[in-house]
Chains A and B, each alone.
Chain A
């Protein structure tokens, strides 16, 4: 790190310090923590903060990537680069049943697919690792049910969230006491907004997947969503044609379920500028959130992040 880097502004510094505090507290209080790493921009920030929190030591827990098999190929390439560069202990998990039965977003619909390949896969991986705490990059400004989430979010032995019966969380004193089989999801980025994430990525020069920057890319328009047509597994409908458009992604998930936006933003400055005037939320491009109001709460109750 160079000494000439300008200091963080007070807002980012306060957010950074809070996140580091949470990382250290969880690492000290729990026996087997793990960090969910989804390769997206929030995960990139989370990873950077984890490295800072334990410096000069190494991150004292493994990273877990739930790989549905349908991620953008650029995400997987980026993940492997980051793991090598920072010498990380990353464990990838794919639901074996989904692989065996060939569960895809095209054949099973987005909600069955998400349940099997994301929610169930996550629960399997957490059980297998006997993790008692799992860090996630969720932010309260993302979605209405997430606005209600605690920083230490308690889960029953079968990973359920009971939003009506959450522990009160006062000051920055976190209650990490749990019984056998119970666990906590910890959210160091709870108080960050989307703009904070981008401003921090800029200030700290954090590497991110290139798909966040606008470039001419092959896309098809489907159900009002711009789907990236770079993967040969994407079945085209008879009336669909692939066009090249200047697009980027505001969030990254599974490529068939994540819509691109038309954008000219090729730099971080452009992206931040675009956000200042954005009139739709970042999860607007996510098909899985749109099934019905409250669908995120339902998924969260079942164990989704």
Chain B
């Protein structure tokens, strides 16, 4: 990145005082109604000068007299972009805001606090690196706060800021702040989250949001909200195995055949051996083509065109993956779901499932539902709107997934109701169902466990005979020593 910046400045580009060069940090703000979420975001935008004068003028003109005592516009009106929202004084839908400091730029998913709009919160959380959870210092943690933290955590967020807002209204009481922080830390631990930064702040007065408030809170020596955001880490999928979900096949003429998609994990370079799933065919990477030049490597996040060294059958929805760290394939997977539709998710109903570029029919069987009050998973056979549950997915044809924990792109999916075409659930795969697929097809047939050298296995897997029955085989790559141990345990 440093080399990059130098190269740009050498070619005479302008300096970049506004931090536009780093990838933006994506964050979500959540909290209950009236915790001051809109005021906080408004304050962030205002203090980082992301609000332009003509926008502020429209606010002033449309809502005379609603300015607060500080001569600032009503921030909530700045954010609630829909007429219905302004009329009802609440946020209905997720909106995205953009601001930047000298060090970094940010995308905020601004999500509604009302329980009936939880689905929008899940939407915002799906792409976020960090969650800012708001609580009213006078009220402390609410069930809705816990609910939002749980959903954020399920969606894979591991960095939390606990913004204890309206601290001015409790006379900057450190004891109360410590109490709320401790309660939340404990709750976060139960979710497995350890990265929690509590900050006492007043969004209205702008204390500890962008500007520190040493005078009113001499007892607080921690960072401001913006400090934390500037230093937060971004999730990347670069350390896992190579994944290219194929979006389309590019064939401009007889001589060229490229597979276009966005790298969803790991990296790739010419010469790498890859497996094409679900068929199981093996090939080598010949070229990585982009508009600018033929590249010698591509990493997670890059939109590329991949050329293979041999004519193989690859179509949209297939996945090209590294041969020694391929994703799981099978017809049954376990997953967690957030139900997003009024009709809920019902047992035995067929849905369309879309994951990456792959869309296939699926039957969903709800198993448990999370009771957010008690944090217990309880048995369930349907999931109503906004419910979080575990389900079992059964496919007619082979499905391809990574666990969401290891790869957000290849472990996430949406469910689409074939009757309404609506998106009715967001899901995260936890694992392939434990029973080996093959067993379900013919319980009376023998299954053989073989340990082979990797290169021999690759040749076998590449064969047509194997490809035909690929989804009845269960393959794990292990070291020779571990293979020996496993086989011994069978004896």
Q: Which residues of A contact B (CB under 8 A)?
A: 1, 3, 5-7, 9-14, 16-17, 20-21, 24-25, 27-28, 51-58, 140-141, 143-148, 163-164, 166-175, 177-179, 190-191, 193, 195-196, 199, 202-203, 269, 272-273, 276, 278-281, 283-284, 293-294, 297-298
A283 to B55, CA, bound (A): 10
Contact B357 A56 (CB under 8 A): no
Distance in Å: Cβ of B452 to nearest Cβ of chain A: 36
Using CB atoms, name the residue of chain B closest to A7: B4
A58 to B292, CA, bound (A): 15
Contact B289 A56 (CB under 8 A): yes
What are some 24 contacts across the A-B interface (CB < 8 A)? A9-B4, A11-B20, A11-B23, A14-B301, A16-B303, A20-B303, A21-B247, A21-B261, A25-B247, A28-B316, A58-B252, A144-B80, A144-B95, A145-B82, A148-B93, A169-B123, A175-B422, A177-B352, A191-B24, A191-B96, A196-B20, A269-B12, A279-B53, A284-B52
Distance in Å: Cβ of A110 to nearest Cβ of chain B: 17
Is B325 in contact with chain A by the CB < 8 A criterion?
no
Is B175 in contact with chain A by the CB < 8 A criterion?
no
Using CB atoms, name the residue of chain B closest to A278: B52
Contact B260 A170 (CB under 8 A): no
Kindly list chain B residues whose C-beta atoms are within 8 Å of the C-beta of A294: 82-83, 86
Contact B421 A11 (CB under 8 A): no
Is B7 in contact with chain A by the CB < 8 A criterion?
yes
Kindly list chain A residues whose C-beta atoms are within 8 Å of the C-beta of B18: 195, 276
Distance in Å: Cβ of B255 to nearest Cβ of chain A: 10
Contact of B247 among A6, A24, A171, A269 (CB under 8 A): A24
Contact of B81 among A20, A147, A168, A175 (CB under 8 A): A147
Contact A168 B82 (CB under 8 A): no
Is B58 in contact with chain A by the CB < 8 A criterion?
yes
Is B107 in contact with chain A by the CB < 8 A criterion?
yes
Is B401 in contact with chain A by the CB < 8 A criterion?
no
Contact A52 B92 (CB under 8 A): no
A174 to B17, CA, bound (A): 35
Contact A147 B120 (CB under 8 A): no
Kindly list chain A residues whose C-beta atoms are within 8 Å of the C-beta of B122: 168, 170
Contact of A173 among B59, B94, B412 (CB under 8 A): B412
Q: Which residues of B contact A (CB under 8 A)?
A: 1, 4-5, 7-8, 11-14, 17-18, 20-24, 49, 52-55, 58-59, 61-62, 78-84, 86, 92-98, 105, 107, 119-120, 122-123, 126-127, 247-248, 250-252, 256, 258, 260-262, 289-293, 301-303, 305, 316, 340, 352, 354-357, 408-409, 412-414, 416, 421-423, 426
Most interface-central of A5, A53, A56, A278 (chain B CB within 10 A): A56
Q: Is the interface of B mostly helix, strand, loop or mixed?
A: mixed
Contact B62 A293 (CB under 8 A): yes
Q: Which 7 A-B pairs have the closest CB atoms?
A: A144-B81, A20-B303, A281-B52, A9-B21, A52-B291, A170-B126, A57-B252
Contact A51 B291 (CB under 8 A): yes
**Known A20-B303, A52-B290, A178-B421: A57·B426 in contact at CB below 8 Å:** no
Kindly list chain A residues whose C-beta atoms are within 8 Å of the C-beta of B97: 141, 147
Contact B20 A195 (CB under 8 A): yes
Contact of B291 among A9, A55, A168 (CB under 8 A): A55
A146 to B97, CA, bound (A): 10
Using CB atoms, name the residue of chain A closest to B18: A276
Contact A280 B92 (CB under 8 A): no
Question: With A11-B105, A56-B250 given, can you name 16 additional A-B contacts, CB distance below 8 Å?
Answer: A1-B293, A10-B23, A14-B301, A16-B303, A21-B247, A52-B290, A56-B305, A58-B252, A144-B79, A144-B81, A167-B422, A168-B426, A170-B123, A173-B354, A177-B416, A294-B82
Contact A24 B1 (CB under 8 A): no
Contact A166 B421 (CB under 8 A): no
Kindly list chain A residues whose C-beta atoms are within 8 Å of the C-beta of B1: 9-10
Contact B22 A164 (CB under 8 A): no
**Known A172-B409, A269-B13, A276-B18: A1·B291 in contact at CB below 8 Å:** yes
Contact A56 B22 (CB under 8 A): no
A20 to B247, CA, bound (A): 11
**Known A17-B303, A24-B248, A24-B261: A173·B23 in contact at CB below 8 Å:** no
